[in-house]
Amino acid sequence: MAKRLAPKPVQPVVSDGVEYAADGDGRDQYVVAKDLGSGKVLWRVKVFHNHIKPWMETDVQEVYITDLKLSAGSLLVRDERSQCYLVDLKRRQVKIENCGAMFH
């Protein structure tokens, strides 16, 4: 029996005909870019990997993306532990970022 509720859906964000959405299984979390006109996936980048300890229940260790926000050519991403990441949309590179007031 699972001890956690299913993650809440994350609202995708759209810019210049491209939809950016969160995807993942609680271990590996991704941002997926999809062309709105064709529905074709343009790219997928791993934002973070969550290491699961085999001696603990998996479901209570899973971490999901909770928020997405566009900002000056980048996508700001926040997870359930309030860790933030910055995805450079041109280079498709991810770096850990201080959340600060990004999602307030």
| Higher-pLDDT residue of 57, 73 | 73
Neighbours of 4 (CB within 10 A): 14
Do the domain assignments include residue 8? no
Do the domain assignments include residue 50? yes
Does residue 68 contact residue 11 with C-beta atoms inside 8 Å? yes
Do the domain assignments include residue 85? yes
Do the domain assignments include residue 103? no
Please name which of 103, 85, 71 lies closest in space to residue 24, comparing C-alpha atoms.
Answer: 85
Domain that holds residue 69: 13-97
Query: How many domains, the chain?
Result: 1
Do the domain assignments include residue 2? no
- Which pLDDT tens digit goes with each residue over 9-40? 999 999 999 999 999 988 899 999 999 999 99
Do the domain assignments include residue 4? no
Does residue 28 contact residue 49 with C-beta atoms inside 8 Å? yes
Do the domain assignments include residue 102? no
Residue 68 clears pLDDT 90, i.e. is over it: yes
**What is the C-alpha separation between 88 and 23, in angstroms, rounded?**
17
| Higher-pLDDT residue of 92, 51 | 92
- Nearest-10 Cα torsion for 48, 15, 67, 43: -20
What letter would DSSP give residue 50? -
* CATH value at residue 37: 2.40.10.480
